[in-house]
Structure 1
């Protein structure tokens, strides 16, 4: 259900490869938050950002990926780079498949938080072959630092 990486190499090779870096930020948790994304395709780049007045960091991390995938106009091979261990582990360790199988319950039997955004993410992923890449936050990865700045700047619009 949580489609990642195509099993058909010939179909996969025909799709254009897009690299996406995403990040979320929140001043307080909950509090005013922002998200940012950088999309790279060949030699082209696009940045997007947004935020909310009352949200959480995890919601902003999810929103960044959703909005980045939403603007892709056709099915692509996508490498999503994120410093969110929760999101990366949900897909690379099969957590999301377990949540779906257990009716959106975690291993501790508690409901999965932000189910609405997880469901939205699964929906916008459908046409794409998505690879999940964990990056270290606030480190030497300039693209990750760039989306962090986008997210922080977006969150400031909702403060005060």
Structure 2
């Protein structure tokens, strides 16, 4: 039996608070979004999440109703050429929304999918339902609250699609500390390890984290390698390399709970003694287009002793290059 679904996206400001949704029926639908994204990103994510959510029924044809010519042309006409050119357009410029498009390309493989353009806001029941839920998700992010994610696909239990992304921390560290509606930022530090006492207890296994598979699309692998680069003592002592890797709005919460901005951590890294450290990835998640979170276990050698910590970094793609924007670390005991 063919699965018929409508997929739609919405952005309040474009870019601005954005939402996406797909609808099969009033009993089967799903929605999510981001605090800041574009309408096209919402449209792409709606289709991507629909494909992921219906993976358990991949043997059934999928008929996608979509009012975005951009999405339909991207996946049915332009993508093969973009891939041949290394994800560049005919004029040589990088393709926008590459991460979402790469994930869509992977999700479409082996699936029988037909796209049909429908005119938006023209009374089509499924399209109107998807539009309403996408706008509701965008409005929720505008109001700094979680959107209604919906029931997902009947009979599949937990939905496989991407989870609604958390509100990113603001650029102003003072605001991050005082605004209770905004989650605490997550960032990068090894310096506090030198001042942390060594635990005499048995290390926690953290088996729940360790059991999570690490996805391996190219852009996620790139983030893992960049994190390892930042752990290299030679890089940490190189002002030019630090400037390339640290986002202009980088902020960090260290293991001791200290909050530091880019200038402070840059100065401390350049002045700190070199530390030997390793990165053991535990999970790599795409939070939003061009935004990837890496959770990993860090093992560092401090005064000849091994110190372990659990760390979370957020990397943001800026002008085609990933730069670390947030980091947080907690000593593992």
Q: TM-score by structure 2 length?
A: 0.41
Gaps of 5+ in 1: 1-15
Q: Which residue of 2 aligns with 1:34?
A: 19
8 Å CA contact 2:22, 2:130 repeated in 1: yes
Q: How many angstroms does 1:128 deviate by?
A: 1.3
Aligned residues: 141
Q: How many angstroms does 1:45 deviate by?
A: 4.6
Structure possessing the higher relative contact order (Cα contacts under 8 Å, 6 or more residues apart): 1
> Hey, which of these two has a bigger chunk of helix by percent?
1
Residue pairs, 1:4-153, within 5 angstroms: 16-39=1-24, 45-72=27-54, 73-75=56-58, 76-92=60-76, 94-153=77-136
Q: Provide the secondary structure at the position in 2 that maps to 1:38.
A: strand
Q: How many angstroms does 1:140 deviate by?
A: 2.3
CA distance in structure 2 between the partners assigned to 1:35 and 1:134 by the alignment: 17
CA distance in structure 1 between the partners assigned to 2:124 and 2:63 by the alignment: 15
8 Å CA contact 2:22, 2:31 repeated in 1: yes
Q: How many angstroms does 1:154 deviate by?
A: 0.7
Q: How many angstroms does 1:74 deviate by?
A: 2.9
Q: Provide the secondary structure at the position in 2 that maps to 1:131.
A: strand
Q: How many angstroms does 1:127 deviate by?
A: 3.4
User: If you compute each CA radius of gyration, which structure gives the higher value, 1 or 2?
Assistant: 2
Q: How many angstroms does 1:108 deviate by?
A: 2.1
Q: How many angstroms does 1:39 deviate by?
A: 2.3
Write the deviation string for residues 23-52 of structure 1: whole angstroms up to 9, x where unpaired.
Answer: 000001111000110125xxx951110111
8 Å CA contact 2:64, 2:116 repeated in 1: yes
Gaps of 5+ in 2: 144-333
Q: TM-score by structure 1 length?
A: 0.83
CA distance in structure 2 between the partners assigned to 1:91 and 1:54 by the alignment: 24
